[in-house]
Amino acid sequence: MTLTALFKKLRPFVRPYRVLVILTLVLTVIGSFAAQVNAYILRYTVDSISELMVAKEPLSKGFSLLTVISSILLGKELLNSVVQFGQKYYGERLRILIARDFSQSIVEKILTYRLAFYTSSENESGKLQTRIDTGISSLTRLVQNFFIDIFPLFANAIVALIAMFSANFWVGLVSLCIVPIYFYISQYQANKLSGFRRKMRNYRETKNHSIISLIESITVIKSFVRENDEAEKHRLIQLDMTNNQLETRKTAFIFDSIKSLIEQIGVVIIIILTAYFVLDGQMSIGAIMFHVMLFGNISAPIRQLHRIYDEVNDALIYSEGFFDILESEHQIENSGKYIPAQMKGKIELKNVDFVYPNGNQALFNVSMTIPPDETTALVGLSGAGKSTIVNLLDKFYEPTRGQIFIDGVDLADYDTTELRKHIGLVLQKNHIFKGTIAENIRYGRPDATDEEVIDAAKKAYIHDQVMLLSEGYESDARSLSGGQQQRIAIARLFLKNPPIIFLDEPTASLDAIATEQIKKSLDAIKENRTVIIISHSISQIIDANNIVVLEQGRAVESGHHEALFDQKGRYYEIFTAMANSLNIDKITKTLDHEEETE
Ligand SMILES: Nc1ncnc2c1ncn2[C@@H]1O[C@H](COP(=O)(O)OP(=O)(O)OP(=O)(O)O)[C@@H](O)[C@H]1O
């Protein structure tokens, strides 16, 4: 991205703070004039004192001169501190407000993006966060640099240069000639250092990541006694990092010395030139200090040029990733206009093909009808495409070919948000937000009263267990067991009260006791709703009114349990395999034996 393109993109973010920008800029200009006052005063002081000395004036005259000078300097310092405070504070305020807007707008934007955006490999887990974070921090640093460093320093330098030219053309010219040399060296320095800095950032990320993976895999490391190997891996990263760090410092110090040498050469040339004019009678002696001080004002910003150069470069690189995310209009979820008043839940898939964005074809010409107000189980081996169907019905993805109808209306025509208001989803592992149990249940309907929350918990058969906790509904929801958390998720659904519910392996991560306990809540939620359940649990499958069997992305059988079983097709195979894995003979014998002994 070019700098102009970047500024264009920044404009909408800066626009709301126009007044703040103008205020900062005005203060900057005042500050840059005030910065030259010292040079003028010093010239005046030196000239006046030497005149007094030549004229052998009494000391009292010198004192009154000093009083005037000190008052001016103090007055100027006072003005300067107000200006500096204002300029820094408003500049910083601008940076903070803009950083807030950046982060708010990107969060608001990505929330409108389709699921594929989140599941794509370039955005997985920490990567999206890192891209957003580095984008925002480099952009805000650019804004801060511009208003707090770049603009004030360069305004100072320009005013000082004008003052030098107006004092003497040749002195001005010498100062002007030093500037491009400085620019060249700073640019060279920035280019040399940028490689190191980038490497440094990678090292830091790798190091952080390696510590995170160390924590995650600590049980494996310890059980395989691999502590020394892990320490060695870490030592090698550290070694590279240290070398790079030392190299960075060395380069930076070499360039600093070169720049300081050039600056001093500039100062010497200015002193010699001015001394010549003084001796020639063209200037007063005070001009020497005057020119040296003005030259200092010119070289100060240039001394920082490499840092500014670097940060602008960073902003150009990292803001690209940020704006790519912010401007991914094609990622916004599609939505139709149809707003259903009520939904029954008659679902029809007609010749649906679906290919995931990474090219995996998960569904092949799937057609099926799911009746309303009943429970339909999707049965099939792992990877058959069951969850994919639920993803399509929730409009998380769109079919690649074919159509899906709910209550006779094409899913594409539905307003996506309105559609989802009528659908409830329970997954294998439901997300429990950081917060209390009450807050987590209320996520289903934020305006629900306490009574409604309790009622939902009762329906999900979790109320009694919540009451046993010392803080009841105010307890931390994350401290609940997996089975309890699952029931919190079901209670959430009772509050939302949608007519259509998808249960995607709701008990897969639970033990037998928890599954048994949750059964009641599941049975309760199934009542008078259209439910699609995906399960590998034999009891949940035979409980369903209808069954659709999927195999490698194709719907191969459908019907009632008994009818499908009698067909002796794919369902029969899966069902008998499930039953055999349960070792039913032995279970029955054990239970019979128990009855006999009672
Ligand atoms: N986000 C995704 N991106 C790419 N391919 C995917 C994605 N999710 C699933 N798939 C692929 O689509 C196919 C169907 O997966 P799906 O999760 O629908 O199967 P499933 O029947 O629900 O399996 P399981 O019982 O194991 O949950 C699989 O081959 C899977 O690898």
CATH number of the domain residue 166 falls in: 1.20.1560.10
Alpha helices in 372-511, H assignment, sequence order: 386-393, 416-421, 437-442, 450-459, 463-468, 482-496
| Rounded distance from Cα 374 to ligand 1 centre (Å) | 25
List the residue whose alpha carbon is closest to atom 11 of ligand 1. Answer: 362
Q: Which residue CA neighbors atom 14 of ligand 1 most closely?
A: 385
12 found inside a domain:
yes
Mutate to test the pocket of ligand 1, among 356, 379, 382, 427 (most ligand atoms within 8 A of CB): 356
* Residue whose CA is at the smallest distance from ligand 1 atom 1: 119
Long-range Cβ contact pairs of 195-203 (< 8 A, separation 24 or more): 196/244, 196/247, 196/248, 196/251, 197/248, 197/310, 199/244, 200/241, 200/244, 200/245, 200/248, 203/237, 203/240, 203/241, 203/244
Residues in a beta bridge with 354? 363
Residues with CB under 6 A from ligand 1: 119, 356, 358, 360, 362, 380, 382-388
CB contact burial 482-505 (16+ within 10 A = b; e otherwise): ebbbbbbbbbbbbbbebbbbbbbb
| pLDDT tens, residue by residue, 363-387 | 999 999 999 999 999 998 888 999 9
Nearest atom within ligand 1 for CA of residue 361: 12
498 part of a folded domain? no
Q: How far is the CA of 363 from the centre of ligand 1 (A)?
A: 10
Residues in Cβ contact with 245 at an 8 Å cutoff, skipping those fewer than 6 apart:
200
Q: Give, for ligand 1, the residue of 352, 379, 386, 393 to mutate: max count of ligand atoms closer than 8 Å to Cβ.
A: 386
Distance from the CA of 552 to the center of ligand 1, in angstroms?
Answer: 10
CA of 532 to the centre of ligand 1 (A): 17
CA of 384 to the centre of ligand 1 (A): 7
CA of 553 to the centre of ligand 1 (A): 9
3-state secondary structure string, 481-495? CHHHHHHHHHHHHHH
Compute the distance from residue 385 Cα to the ligand 1 centre, in Å.
6
- The C-alpha atoms of residue 136 and residue 138 are separated, in whole angstroms, by 6
Q: What backbone torsions phi and psi does residue 19 show, to the nearest 5 degrees?
A: -60, -45
What pLDDT, on the 0 to 100 scale, is given for residue 481?
Answer: 84
Distances from the Cα of 156 to the Cαs of 161, 388, 422, 439, 586, in angstroms? Answer: 9, 63, 63, 56, 91
Quick: pLDDT tens for 509-561. 677 776 777 787 788 888 889 999 998 888 888 888 999 999 999 999 999 98
Going across the sheet that includes 500-504, the strands are: 423-426, 500-504, 530-534, 375-380, 546-551, 554-559
Do 11 and 148 reside in the same domain of the chain?
yes
Based on the fold, state whether residues 293 and 349 are members of the same structural domain.
no
- Distance between CA atoms of residues 159 and 36, nearest Å: 8
How much is the pLDDT for 217? 85
- Give domain status of residue 482, yes or no: no
In a domain, 13, yes or no: yes
Tell the residue nearest (CA) to atom 18 of ligand 1: 385
Residue nearest to atom 29 of ligand 1 (CA): 383
Q: Tell me, in angstroms, the distance from the centre of ligand 1 to residue 335's CA.
A: 24
Instruction: Determine the Cα–Cα distance for residues 551 and 382; give it in Å rounded to an integer.
Output: 9
Distance 541 CA to ligand 1 centre (A): 20
Which of 360, 378, 502, 556 best tests ligand 1's pocket when mutated (most atoms within 8 Å of CB)? 360
Q: Given the structure tokens 């919190």, which residue do they identify?
A: 488
Closest CA to ligand 1's atom 17: 387
Same domain, 59 and 88: yes
256 found inside a domain = yes
In a domain, 406, yes or no: yes
CA–CA separation, 330 and 262 (whole Å): 53
**Closest residue CA from atom 31 of ligand 1:** 383
Burial (CB count <10 Å: 0-12, 13-18, 19+), residue 314: buried
Q: Are residues 400 and 307 in the same domain?
A: no
Give residue 383 CA to ligand 1 midpoint distance, Å.
5
Whether 481 maps to a domain, the answer reads no
Specify if 257 maps to a domain: yes
pLDDT of 103 reads 93
Residue nearest to atom 4 of ligand 1 (CA): 356
Does one domain contain both 80 and 150?
yes
Distance 362 CA to ligand 1 centre (A): 7
Which atom of ligand 1 has the smallest separation from the CA of 359? 4
Kind and range of the H or E run holding 406? strand 401-406
Q: Specify burial of residue 142 (Cβ count, 10 A radius: 0-12, 13-18, 19+).
A: buried
- Interhelix angle 59-110/305-326, rounded to 10 degrees, is 20
Q: What are phi and psi of 585, to 5 degrees?
A: -55, -50
Query: For the stretch 325-346, what's the b/e string if a residue is b when 16 or more beta carbons lie within 10 angstroms of its beta carbon?
Result: bbeeeebebebbeeebeebbbb
Residues forming a β-bridge with 347: 370, 406
Cα 386 to averaged position of ligand 1 atoms, centre (Å):
8
How many residues in the chain? 598
Do 311 and 404 lie in a common domain? Answer: no
The Å distance, Cα 366 to ligand 1 centre, comes to 15
Report the pLDDT value the prediction gives residue 370, as an integer from 0 to 100: 93
The CATH number given to whatever domain includes residue 417 is 3.40.50.300
Mutate to test the pocket of ligand 1, among 125, 363, 387, 550 (most ligand atoms within 8 A of CB): 387
Q: Do 108 and 254 sit in the same domain of this protein?
A: yes
What is the per-residue burial (b if ≥16 Cβ within 10 Å, else e) of 104-141? eebeebbeebbebbeeeeebeeeebeebbebbbbbbbb
Query: Which of 272, 301, 331 marks a domain boundary?
Result: 331
Q: Which atom of ligand 1 is nearest to the CA of 358?
A: 4
Quote the ligand 1 centre to 392 CA distance (angstroms): 12
Tokens of 561: 């349990």
Q: Which two tokens stand for residue 428?
A: 């294998």
Intervals of the chain under pLDDT 50: none
Q: What is the DSSP letter of 560?
A: -
Q: Whose CA is nearest to atom 12 of ligand 1?
A: 362
Residues 541 and 591 in one domain: yes
- What is the domain extent for residue 375? 344-422+535-598
> Which of 331, 353, 379 is the C-terminal boundary of a domain?
331
From 106, 3, 116, select the one nearest 323 (Cα to Cα).
Answer: 106
Q: Does residue 274 sit in the same domain as residue 350?
A: no
Tokens of 332: 């916004």
**Ligand 1 center from residue 356 Cα (angstroms):** 9
Structure pTM? Answer: 0.75
Residue nearest to atom 8 of ligand 1 (CA): 388
Which of 296, 331, 366 represents a domain boundary (last residue)?
Answer: 331
Give yes or no: residues 90 and 202 share one domain: yes
Closest C-alpha to ligand 1, atom 16: 385
Question: How far is ligand 1, taken at its centre, from the CA of residue 135, in Å?
Answer: 33
Q: Do 264 and 364 share a domain, yes or no?
A: no
Give the residue, out of 363, 388, 425, 556, with the most ligand 1 atoms within 8 A of its beta carbon, to mutate for a pocket test. Answer: 388
352 and 273 share one domain? no
Domains in the chain: how many in total? Answer: 2
Distance 525 CA to ligand 1 centre (A): 26
The atom number, within ligand 1, closest to the CA of 384 reads 21
Question: Which candidate, 52, 268, 56, places its Cα nearest to that of 171?
Answer: 268
